[in-house]
Amino acid sequence: MRLLLVEDDDHVAAALSAILKKHGFDVTHARNGEEALQAVLPSGSVGKAPFGVVLLDLGLPDQDGYQVCGKIRKLTTTPVIMVTARADVRSRIHGLNLGADDYVVKPYDTGELLARIHAVSRRSAGGDGDESATAADEVPLRLGAVVIELATRQVCVDGAVVQLTRKEFDLLALLAQRPGVVFRREQIISEVWRTSWEGTGRTLEVHVASLRAKLAMPALIETVRGVGYRLVAPAT
């Protein structure tokens, strides 16, 4: 997914961009409101997929982030997540009324930010920020002997159908869409179970163990100690 990061602090932007890229995002950095608006203009994305999400800091040097949000909303329906130190309710309400899809207060947990990015992206399915989602679902994910049909929710190993529960499929599909990328436990719980991490860790471990057994490929899902899990694509 292409993501536009609007942040005037280069050090903050570099650190956050590194994390986002590690999780499979194609990040474009805009340092001010004008650069952000130029980036989201149709002419600014010629030959490239549209942005899936805009992360917008409100403290910009050339114009207020609220103004930038309003202008972005007139140009595109791409989800906008405001990222700011302004924690008061009035600021949150103002941002949401201007068209922001979510509002994250600094300092934030990286896992929560990633979960919110994925959440607004899902909600925008059908908009210009996620036009390729339906088409992507039609293309099977092939990982060596494993074939995952997202549209029909069917999984085959060496041509044989493997019966998975709903959550097992959702977990496998999440990891398989970004092979090699480490998913934090908190992020997986948020994406698959739509809840918080507390009290759900054991459930995740059980589902991972069940997937490994049913697919008869214990090395397919790797445990990254202290962080989470990633899918290791089999050698072809």
pLDDT of residue 204: 87
- The CA-atom distances, in angstroms, between 231 and each of 27, 63, 162, 226, 234 are 22, 42, 18, 16, 9
Residues contacting 180, CB < 8 A, separation 6+: 230, 231, 232, 233
In this prediction, residues 97-112 reach a mean pLDDT of 84
Whole-number Å distance between alpha carbons of 216 and 44: 47
pLDDT of residue 236: 55
Tokens representing 226? Answer: 């202290």
pLDDT in tens, 191-203: 787 765 555 557 8
pLDDT in tens, 164-219: 988 899 899 999 988 888 998 888 887 787 765 555 557 888 899 999 999 999 99
Domains of the chain, with CATH numbers?
Answer: 2-133 (3.40.50.2300), 139-231 (1.10.10.10)
Residue 235 or 232, more confident? 232
Strands (E), the chain: 2-6, 26-30, 53-57, 80-84, 102-105, 141-143, 146-149, 154-157, 160-162, 183-184, 221-224, 228-231
- The half-sphere exposure of 165 on its side-chain side, counting CA atoms within 13 A, is 10
Residue 124 or 96, more confident? 96
pTM flag (> 0.85): no
pLDDT in tens, 36-55: 999 998 665 545 668 999 99
- The half-sphere exposure of 22 on its side-chain side, counting CA atoms within 13 A, is 13
Q: Residue 128 pLDDT more than 90? A: no
Tokens representing 159? Answer: 């041509």
Neighbours of 180 (CB within 10 A): 11
